Amino acid sequence: MISKEQIKLEIDRVSDEQLEELYSVVKRYSQSPARNGGPSLMAKLKEITIEAPEDFAENIDLYLTGEKKID
């Protein structure tokens, strides 16, 4: 398991030019809904549905290239 001390050591290696970008990533992570009791990313992804032919997953390459058409 990674400790906060290990993370802090890695942060000390980050250049001053990259600190702003790292800060924004850490801030977004700490404020994400999953951290605050909201639905996780995986829970949101499970809710996605698409309307497509039954063979869409098996033949996605053919649909993407236009060899098969969705009626």
Q: How far apart are CA 58 and CA 56, in angstroms?
A: 6
Contact 68, 62 (CB under 8 A): yes
Mean pLDDT of 5-22: 94
Q: How far apart are CA 60 and CA 53, in angstroms?
A: 10
Q: What is the mean pLDDT of the chain?
A: 88
The answer, as to whether pTM is greater than 0.85, is: no
Contact 42, 50 (CB under 8 A): no
For the segment 15-36, what is each residue's pLDDT rounded down to a tens digit? Answer: 999 999 999 998 988 887 666 6
Confidence of residue 71 (pLDDT cuts 50, 70, 90): confident
pLDDT for 33: 66
